[in-house]
Every structure is written in C-alpha cells, then in structure tokens.
Amino acid sequence: MAIEFISAISEGRKIYGILHLPRSPSPPCVIASHGLFSSKDSEKFAQIGEYFSARGVAVIRYDHQGCGESEGEISETTVSSRLKDLEAMFELAVSHPLLGNRIGLLGSSMGGFSSIIKGAMDPRVKALVLWATPSHFAGKEEGDKKGVSPLKETFYQDMKKYDARQAIKKIANCLILHGETDELVPLPQAKELYSLASPPKHLEVFEGGDHRFTNPTHRRRAIEMSLEWFQRYL
C-alpha cells in the first residue's frame, strides 16, 4: 500500500486529504467524510484507510473547511460548504490516474448526511455506508443545549435546504451502521433512513454502541462490514 497527500480547492479555500492506495491497478475508491467537529486524522478514519487499502479498496479521507489541516473556520461551516468539499474530493478521485471509476461514499455523522445528499445528486456514486448518521438536524435552540456551538445562525438556515429523508429514497446499495445507545443521534433516526432507502440495503444496530463506535469490537466489526459492502457493490 502507498499513501499520497492530496489537496483540492473548495470555495476558494485549500482542503487537504490523504489517499490510501492499494497495490492493485485501478482500484475502487471510497471517499470518507468525517463528522461535524472531527477530522480526517481520527483513529477511526485512519483505521478505515489502512484496512481497506490492504484489501484492494482505495480510501480518500479529508478535512472539511475549518477542520484539521484545511483552510477556513469551523464557525463558518454549513451543509452546503461540506457538500462543496465532498464534491471537490470526488472530482479529484474521478480524475486521478491510478484510480478506477467505481466510487463509493462513507460518512460518519454529519459526513453521512452530506454523503446522502451527494449520493442522491450524482449517479456516479455506486454505494453508500453511513455511520451514526442523522436523518435531520436539531434546530439552533436544541443544538445550543447539546453544545454544538460555535455554529452560526447561517448553519441552521442553510440546513433547511436539504432533506436527507427525501434524498435517501433515490439511493440503493446503502449500509447503515448505528449504535443502539447513540447519545447524539437517536437510533430511530437510523431506522427512519433505512425504511426510506431503496433496496438493496441493510441496517446493523450495535448493542450498547455509542455515537463514535468507541467499543473496539464494535468498531472492528463496523469496518469489516463496511469493506464487505463496498466489495460487493463497487
């Protein structure tokens, strides 16, 4: 396996990522989008990159604007800006000379939400894996109570443009992974997304699991299931 440090321009800002390349020629590629206040360098995403690429699937993990190494301020983030980031990395993958044209999306939490929207808009997305993904967002008052500041009012206004519950109806080949006791995204939201997605689809609930898949057994199984899903549908 090899690692390539990559970058793209999104809304005039430079965003950075890491491409995990397997040894096989023209491999399928998974673009991994992190959660609201996370980054590409989370232990979970690093494990996904290493595990997938060792088994023939490339992974792009990247920092959204205002996160990790990427330019921008987290207080300026919106669903729209995160979609622009994802689209920039998607086009990079499509044009990369060492990657094939089989592309899937993996998203954690808000990264899953934006992946749903992108998947519904772009028929080039062949498969989708969602970790701890909300079907909708809390309003500003509820969000502030949960400590999601420093988001601005523009975040809450912008999110009204997007309806993941409608978007996921256009998506097949969707795997949903969710902790039974997710403290940030209640399990009924995962069940709602599953009920609306087109087949083939699968919902896996991890007994006693939390939002971040901190249980090593849960995380290992989630990574294995994710790879198996992409190997089947990419």
Average pLDDT score, the chain = 95
Q: Which amino acid is at 181?
A: T
pLDDT at 148 over 60: no
Q: What is the mean pLDDT of residues 29-37?
A: 97
Secondary structure string (H, E, C) spanning the chain? CEEEEEEEEECCEEEEEEEEECCCCCCCEEEEECCCCCCCCCHHHHHHHHHHHCCCCEEEEECCCCCCCCCCCHHHCCHHHHHHHHHHHHHHHHHCCCCCCCEEEEEECHHHHHHHHHHHHCCCEEEEEEECCCCCCCCHHHHHHCCCCCCCHHHHHHHCCCCHHHHHHHCCCEEEEEECCCCCCCHHHHHHHHHHCCCCEEEEEECCCCCCCCCHHHHHHHHHHHHHHHHHHC
Per-residue pLDDT for 147 more than 60? no
pLDDT of 44: 97
- Phi, psi of 31, rounded to the nearest 5 degrees: -100, 120
pLDDT digits (tens, 9 = 90+) for 89-118: 999 999 999 999 999 999 999 999 999 999
Architecture of domain 2-233: 3-Layer(aba) Sandwich (3.40)
Dihedral of CA atoms 164, 170, 173, 176 in degrees, nearest 10, equals 20
- Average pLDDT on 113-137 reads 97
The tens digit of pLDDT for each residue in 47-98 reads 999 999 999 999 999 999 999 999 999 999 999 999 999 999 999 999 999 9
Whole-structure pTM over 0.85, yes or no? yes
Chain centroid, CA 230 distance in Å: 14
Q: How confident is the model at residue 139 (pLDDT cuts 50, 70, 90)?
A: low
Interatomic CA distance for residues 211 and 111, integer angstroms: 13
The answer to whether residues 106 and 116 touch, using CB atoms and an 8 Å cutoff, is no
Rounded Cα distance, 193 and 182, in Å: 15
The whole-number pLDDT of residue 150 equals 73
**All structural domains of the chain with their residue ranges:** 2-233
Predicted pLDDT at 141: 45
% of residues, the chain, pLDDT over 90: 92
Summarised one tens digit per residue, pLDDT across range 154-184 is 999 999 999 999 999 999 999 999 999 999 9
